[in-house]
Chain A
Amino acid sequence: MNFILVALVVLIFAWYLSFSASRLDRLHHRVETSWEHLDALLQRRAALALEISHQVDLDPATDLILRQSAYVSREEAIVDRNDAERSLSESLTFLRDSAHNGEVSISVPLLDELTNLTEKINLAIAIHLEGVKSVAKLRSKFIYRLFHLAGKAKLPRIYSFEEDSL
């Protein structure tokens, strides 16, 4: 009788571990896809910044910031891109405000795309950060650390440009 009870407990525990591991795995996967989605949007933003730089009659300072950050955003790995993404967020926001105040004329399709893309990026960041935080929270739990349930998966990072945009 006792033997069956112990076996049952072990079984339930094993099931719980496997359940926890797959739960974490699912979260990891979700964070990966949400990052891919966000990254694709950021690449589109960089392309748009270059497009604006080409089409709009900008002052040289604004133009340089746009081109320089767009270049870095498209060429570098994410760990080196944080500053550039922050610059793009700041300068494009500034540009959008200027356009709304009539200080600079950006064609309606470009401006619409910028507004549209900014909203999408903010949403994508919010979703991605939520995932990252859930992963971190889960992985910090005792049982997850004790049984190495995260395996070799890296703890996803939060970049400061993501925090800035919110």
Chain B
Amino acid sequence: MFIINCPYCGERDQTEFSCGGEAHIERPKQPTELSDDQWAEYLFMRKNIKGIQFERWNHIHGCRKWFNVVRDTSNDKIHAVYKMGERPPVK
């Protein structure tokens, strides 16, 4: 449980948000060309990092907008928040 600084609404409790998992997983550009291994990689395989993780959040009980969060999963501290489409900050 922590506070998230929504880039549109400001600081709100984490319970207002829904976590969309790992960020920057690119949707395949040519889905018909993908092998089974590549599909498995896209659909199921996750970094699941212990440490700094880039992830997507949705302010589901607020502005309902998606954005990205850089969070340390070993202590739940948030290091940065940035909008969709923006370049991820270099750690």
**Is chain B a partner of chain A in the same complex?**
no
* Residues in B lying within 8 Å of A, measured CB to CB: none
* Residues in A lying within 8 Å of B, measured CB to CB: none
